[in-house]
Structure formats: C-alpha cells, structure tokens
C-alpha cells in the first residue's frame, strides 16, 4: 500500500487559508493513507480559550471534516488529521481518521504538552486500533505522546501495523525517538509535523519540520526538511509489522515478561 504525509505551515486562526492549502496539496495525490499535522486547521499558539473555541469543531462535523471527507472520497484514500475538538463546553486536542467509505474515528490526545494544558482537557478515548482497506490496522497518537513508550507499545500490542502521528513538534528529540518506537515495536510510523514560527500573546514557538515515514526497523523511508512544504509518499508492506522476530531465538513480543515490569 502507499502511505503519505503532508507538511506545511498553518496560519494561526485562519481556517480558510489552511483548508485551501491542504486542498492544494492533497488533490491528485495517489495514496492509500495520508497523515496531516496536529491542529492543522487552526494553528497552535493560542492566547486564550476563546481563540480555541473560535476554530474548534465537533467530531464528524464542521468545515474541516466536510472538506477532508470530500477529498478522501474523491481520491479514494484514508486521511488522518489533527484539529481542536469541541465537545459541549470541553476542548480536546484531537485527530480524526476519515475513510473513503464515510466512516470516521476520533482520538483525543492523551499527553498534553506545555501550554496545551491551559486550553484542552486530557484525552479520554484511550489508544485504539482501526482497520482500513485490505485489513490494514492503524493506530493514532498525537505529538507529545511520543515521549511515553507506553503509547506506541499499547497500539502495537493491540495489533497496529502503522502508527499515524500528527504533530506540532518543537523539541529536538522526537524524530529520533520515533525510530526507537518503531524498532522496539516493529511497526511503521508516519510522523506529520508542521513548519514555521508562530508568535502570539508573547509566546514564540519554532516548529521543527522533518516529517518522516519509518519502517519496522526504525529506518527512514522518506522525510522532508525543516522548512519544506509538500507531500511525500512511499510504498510499504504492512504485513512486515506482523513479524516481531529479532533473531532466530528472539521475538520482540513473545519475549516480553510483563510480570517483572512496573507501569
């Protein structure tokens, strides 16, 4: 199957521009799965909750969902994208999986980073695995979830072959850490990061780009630079993630001894 990612520079609170940019980069893309950045329709450096409410959408509703749902249907692919989710009076940093047949699934970020705690509630969905075309199993995690090995491990234990990882990365370690997450779990990972600098309410965030698609050995199959906008696509065999062999006598999962682990 073909897997892709999209990297660009969203404009803060400018949903119209962000959707137009995503459409330009996605229309005509030939892929089975594409991952977009965290909060790709809204920008990231909010000054207050009122700003978040102004761009938030209910799961499966709102302009961003309908635009990307139409694209998923028109190019016949699965899309994973990050967005600020509105649920009653609560805000979540979420990502959505849209399938070309109209089904959708939502994940709410488990581990909030830094100022996100000022605006969003901690995610309550937990980590789940979903089956897309040809029985391929994917899991979702968002940005700072990378810091916690339990996130990727849980998805892998649930059978995920591909981890979709929308991100707005500012720390310098994630791209390297995700190589380890793939190696220790023998899964593919697609980290879709954003680029650029965002300034608001006296806060300055510099985003690191370097979006990447990794194989089950933690090797980079394809990546973008710190500043590029665009998409990349690679062909993978998801079934490789079913093989947890390390040596002829070792299996990454069968050799686990949970009775000696403290979680």
Question: Could you tell me if residue 50 is inside a domain?
Answer: yes
- In angstroms, rounded to a whole number, what is the distance separating the alpha carbons of residues 186 and 189? 10
Question: Could you tell me if residue 263 is inside a domain?
Answer: no
Owning domain of residue 184: 1-258
Q: List all residues 6 or more positions away from 120 whose beta carbon is below 8 Å from its beta carbon.
A: 52, 84, 91, 92, 93, 109, 112
Q: What is the pTM of this model?
A: 0.98
Question: Could you tell me if residue 180 is inside a domain?
Answer: yes
Q: Residue 251: give its domain's CATH number.
A: 3.60.110.10
Question: Could you tell me if residue 165 is inside a domain?
Answer: yes
pLDDT > 90? residue 239: yes
pLDDT > 90? residue 263: no
What domain count does the chain have? 1
Residue 133: per-residue pLDDT:
86
Predicted confidence (pLDDT) per residue in 22-38, tens digit: 999 999 999 999 999 99
Question: Could you tell me if residue 196 is inside a domain?
Answer: yes
Q: List all residues 6 or more positions away from 66 whose beta carbon is below 8 Å from its beta carbon.
A: none
- Strand, coil or helix: what is 86? strand
pLDDT > 90? residue 175: yes
Predicted confidence (pLDDT) per residue in 180-227, tens digit: 999 999 999 999 999 999 999 999 999 999 999 999 999 999 999 999
- The mean pLDDT value of the chain amounts to 98
92 — pLDDT class (breaks 50, 70, 90): very high
Question: Could you tell me if residue 14 is inside a domain?
Answer: yes
The bridge status of strand 129-131 relative to strand 137-140 is: antiparallel
As annotated, the active-site residues are 38, 109, 143
Q: List all residues 6 or more positions away from 78 whose beta carbon is below 8 Å from its beta carbon.
A: 32, 33, 34, 72, 97, 98, 99, 100, 132, 133, 138
């Amino acid at each position: 199957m073909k897997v892709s990612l999209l990297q660009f520079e969203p404009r803060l609170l400018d949903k119209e521009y962000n959707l137009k940019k995503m459409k330009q980069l996605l229309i005509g893309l030939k892929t089975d799965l594409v991952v977009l950045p965290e909060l790709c329709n809204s920008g990231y450096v909010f000054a207050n909750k009122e700003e978040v409410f102004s761009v938030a959408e209910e799961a499966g509703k709102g302009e961003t969902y309908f635009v990307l749902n139409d694209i998923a249907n028109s190019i016949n692919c699965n899309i994973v994208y990050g967005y600020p989710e509105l649920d009653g009076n609560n805000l979540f940093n979420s990502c959505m999986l849209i399938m070309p047949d109209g089904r959708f699934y939502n994940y709410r970020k488990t581990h909030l980073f830094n100022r996100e705690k000022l605006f969003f509630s901690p995610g309550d969905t937990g980590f789940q695995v979903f089956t897309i075309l040809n029985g391929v199993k994917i899991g979702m995690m968002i940005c700072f979830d990378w810091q916690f090995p339990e996130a990727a491990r849980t998805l892998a234990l649930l059978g995920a072959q591909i981890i979709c990882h929308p991100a707005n990365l500012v720390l310098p370690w994630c791209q390297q850490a995700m190589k380890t997450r793939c190696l220790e779990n023998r899964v593919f990972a697609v980290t879709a990061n954003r680029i650029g600098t965002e300034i608001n309410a006296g806060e300055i965030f510099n985003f690191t780009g370097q979006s990447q698609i990794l194989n089950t050995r933690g090797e980079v199959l394809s990546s973008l630079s710190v500043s590029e906008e665009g998409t990349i696509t690679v062909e993978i065999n998801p079934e490789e993630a079913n093989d947890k062999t390390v040596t002829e006598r070792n299996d990454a999962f069968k050799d686990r001894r949970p009775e000696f682990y403290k979680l």
